[in-house]
Amino acid sequence: MNQGPPQGPPTIPTPEPGPKILTFEEFSHRDKVNYPRYGNFFMYFGGGQGDVFRTTAHYKKFALEYPDMATTLYEKIQNRPENKSGDSSDSLRPFDQDLYEAYKIMRGYGVPDKDLFS
C-alpha cells in the first residue's frame, strides 16, 4: 500500500556547527604592543619563512581554488613599504581586509586559528 507523501511541515536539517570564524574586527585587532591578532598569517603571502607556510595542504588548496587572490596578496605583501620603525604591523594594516578574506576561506577548510596564526 502506498502511503503517499509525508504529512505535516517539512523538516529542515539542523546545520552542522562549523568553525567559529572571527569577525573582521576580531581578526585585525592589535594588542598593546601593536601586534595583530592574526599573528603570522601574513607569512602565507610573504617571503623568507613564507615558503614553509605555503607547503601546507590548506594553503595549496586555497592557491588552487583562488589563484588570483593568492597571487595578488603575495604581490601586495611582498611590495609593501616598510615603515621607518621596522614595525611590520603598521605596514600590514592596509592589507588587513585582503588577509581577512583569505583567512575566512582557509578557516572554512576547518583549519584552527592557532594553526593559521602561528
> In this model, does residue 86 exceed pLDDT 70?
no
The answer to whether 44 and 66 are in contact (CB under 8 A) is no
Place 15 in a pLDDT band, splitting at 50, 70 and 90. Answer: very low
The C-alpha angle 18, 25, 85, rounded to 5 degrees, equals 125
> Which stretches of the chain are assigned E, i.e. beta strand?
none
Amino acid at site 24 = F
The residue type found at 63 is A
CB 77 within 8 A of CB 45: yes
Residue, of 52 and 83, whose pLDDT is higher: 52
Give the mean model confidence (pLDDT) for residues 36-51: 85
Whole-number pLDDT of residue 67 = 97
Residue 17 has pLDDT above 60, yes or no: no
Model-level pTM? Answer: 0.78
Report residue 5's pLDDT band, with 50, 70 and 90 as the boundaries: low
